[in-house]
Structure 1
Amino acid sequence: MAVASPSAASLFLPSSVKLNAPTPNSVTLRFPHLKRRYNAFRVAASVSLSNPYVRTGPDDLVSSILSKVVQTDGGVLLKKEEHKEVAEVAQELQKYCVSEPVKCPLIFGEWDVVYCSRPTSPGGGYRSAFGRLFFNTKQMVQAVEAPDIVRNKVVLSVLGFLDVEVSLKGKLKALDSEWIQVIFEAPELKVGSWQVQYGGQSEVKLKITYVDDKIRLGLGSRGSLFVFKRI
């Protein structure tokens, strides 16, 4: 909004008063009693421009966070400052979360894991700095099936020519109105028609901080921020 436009100036003037050239100086000189109101308007406008989250609804915040994390290899390609921006939007968005997200049916469905603040949280060692030298992540998907089944799948390309699939199946348990616990069976590794189960059980705890028909936000027990996009 341009503060020097006639329509903007008329918001603070009686209908009988007209300005030929409504500028900050003319408002101050001809109508000194309006100075404080004009300055208040100018400050409010500058705050709205400098802080994009002021008076911003959940739809705008959802669009904002997706624009920051999509096509970033799950967050790997982001710089430290960009991770901070994602966290700030997530913190603002969680103010709009339903009161008991664990009971919300919107948590069910298939989700792309489009972002994690710690790249090794989804995918483990395959997503570490060393692992990424050999494995290119093609897909990270989580399916949450009613009433209590969670399936995680990571599809990797080995040196660009061989696809490897790592999958986990777990059982979900609600710890309270926000926190869930998932106990996973041993992971399964699949290469073509060959598959093998290795390792042992694992456990994760996740706080659901926001969910709607487009995205779901989660905060791991170790502080990892996740952004899931509905498929």
Structure 2
Amino acid sequence: MTSIADIEIPADGTGTGELFEAAPSLTCEMERVIASSGHGLWLSGPSQDTIETAMDDASAIGAYSVISSEDDNDRWLYDIEFEPDTIDLFEVVLEEGGTVLSASASSNTWLLSIRFADRESVSSLYDRLDNDSLTPTVVRLFDLAEETNSQCGLTPRQYETLVAAIDHGYFEIPREVSMQELSKELDISHQALSERLRRAYRALVTSELNVSEDETVAPPMPSD
């Protein structure tokens, strides 16, 4: 049964620990999709010069490069590679069979939302992090059962499609994957994906707003 775990992990001892020591006001956010050998992290808080000086001085960080920036928010997207002997949180999660749904850090603490195939995998990751003296804290843990899907009015395929869309950044602004690319990933036609998403949206809206199917039918347009 699929499980979702929200886990807090102090940055000390990880690849970003030295960055927070050098720049305590730093905030980090993982980029969902990035085509590189490293990790995409949005960094903000201090000035760009302060951030890059901290990365230059950090023994855990190897190569890095700027990919994008948001001048209005003073936020920069970096492709960062950690040194081989560094504890890389994202790689550890992958090795333990998890998928990082989101990850952000501030005040020297990471908060990761991770999807696992079962609770045993959650325990395995927890033990591994604890053995590495990273003192993880499970903030929330819940299972995604088929009953949850039906309560929202979603079919299993609709649910799987929405999860895939989230994982691939379809709902990000701007979108990180097109509908055409997502349809290829799911091995269905563009039209089938569009129809499945529309039905899923309708099911979610109907469920969340607690309205009946009759109430979702648009009223007739007034005649001239």
- The reply to whether TM is greater than 0.5 is no
> Where is the helix percentage greater, Structure 1 or Structure 2?
2
> Where is the strand percentage greater, Structure 1 or Structure 2?
1
Give the TM-score taking structure 1 as reference length: 0.26
Larger radius of gyration: 1
